[in-house]
Amino acid sequence: MIPASLNNTSLGLSFNTWQEIVFKKELNAYYINASDHCSYYDLDEDQISTIKGRAAELEAMNPENLTSFAAEIQSSMNRTECSAWNYDQTEFWDTAVTENNWICDKALYAADFYTLSTVGMVLGIFIFSAIADYFGRKTGFYAGLACVIVFSLCQIPVSYSFALFGFFKVFATFGMLPIFQSPLSILSEISNVDNRGYVLCYACLTWSLGQIFFHWLDG
């Protein structure tokens, strides 16, 4: 969180122009060239006055000239590390990422949890396949559902700990594939043999399309 005197409103700049001047452009954790939100250039009073006086001119500059101006003025500035952040709360009021500031040197935590989710699903295939074979698919389905619900809820109070959150993330995804596969297997078994291939194709196709397009529903 930068001082109020350095925000875009105080400097009289648009958001994009302000970012170009106050933040350094560099590769982030996902190898995208973007503004560094882990530190900012700490402008002195003279630099602030210069930027305010040339605000209209800066807004009218083409990207190349603005980049050159930013590089020139940044060469004499000191960078200050951020210690607090404001997050966009348009869609979510709070998440594990915003609550624990999983950004900057912790930016890949979210990606690591996706990897752990895959590990959990792979392990769950062996465990719940055995449960379905020995105790029936219905038992395997309900056991997988209970596993997902219980261990997902267990993640909520321990998000402060990467190790504990990751531990429960693995167990929470144990039952993900059985929840999908058990109804699909039952659907295949009650379908006509000649149409079974079409049933499986339709189920997998609609699942894939849902994964692709469902996020558009948020507008």
pLDDT at 217 exceeding the cut of 80 = no
Tens digits of residue pLDDT in 154-210: 998 998 889 999 999 999 998 887 787 777 777 777 888 888 888 888 888 888 888
**Helix spans in 27-175 (H):** 45-53, 55-60, 63-74, 96-100, 109-135, 137-155, 162-172
Tell me the pLDDT tens digit for each residue of 1-13. Answer: 677 777 778 778 8
Residue 151 is predicted with a pLDDT of 93
d(CA 36, CA 27): 8
Q: Which long-range contacts (CB under 8 A, 24 or more apart) does 114-119 make?
A: 116/166, 116/169, 116/170, 116/173, 117/169, 117/170, 117/172, 117/173, 117/176, 118/173, 119/170, 119/173
- Average pLDDT over all residues of the chain: 82
**In terms of Cα–Cα distance, which of 27, 29, 26, 170 is closest to 102?**
29
- Nearest CA to 103 out of 124, 72, 82 is that of 82
**Residue/partner pairs of 133-140 with CB below 8 Å, 24 or more apart:** 137/182, 137/185, 137/186, 138/182, 140/178, 140/182
Residue 144's pLDDT band (cuts 50, 70, 90): confident
Mean pLDDT for 93-112 is 85
What number is the average pLDDT over the span 124-143? 84
Model confidence pTM above 0.75 = no
pLDDT of residue 166: 92
Question: What is the structure's pLDDT at 167?
Answer: 93
Reported as a single tens digit per residue, the pLDDT across 30-88 is 677 777 778 877 777 887 788 788 788 878 888 888 888 877 777 777 788 877 788 87
Confidence label for 218 from pLDDT (cuts 50, 70 and 90): low
What is the reported pLDDT for 182? 76
The predicted pLDDT at position 154 comes to 92
* Residue 142 pLDDT > 70: yes
Half-sphere exposure of 76 (CA within 13 A, CB side): 9
Number of Cβ within 10 Å of residue 25's Cβ equals 14
pLDDT of residue 29: 66
pLDDT tier at 91, thresholds 50, 70, 90: confident
Strand partners, 42: 78
